[in-house]
Amino acid sequence: MAVEKGSKAPDFTLTDEAGEQVSLSGLRGKRVVLFFYSKAGTSG
């Protein structure tokens, strides 16, 4: 899925380092930084 610069990110859920589920929608109202990289093992 492509995300255009300046657009809102779609909601997603990931597992954090403690094994807890975290959703983007659950962070609403908080500052969030999303970092995307093109492929594992490449420089960021």
Strands (E), the chain: 13-15, 21-23
| pLDDT (mean) for 15-24 | 94
Q: Running DSSP on this structure, what letter comes out for residue 42?
A: S
Q: Which residues contact 27 (CB under 8 A, 6 or more apart)?
A: none
Q: Given this model, what pLDDT does residue 44 score? A: 58
Residue 23 tokens read as 């959703």
* pLDDT of 29 over the 90 cut: yes
Dihedral sign, CA of 19, 23, 24, 25?
Answer: negative
| pLDDT (mean) for 12-37 | 90
| pLDDT (mean) for 8-35 | 91
More confident residue, 4 or 37: 4
* Residues 15 and 22: beta-carbon distance below 8 Å: yes
| pLDDT (mean) for 13-27 | 94
Q: Given this model, what pLDDT does residue 2 score? A: 75
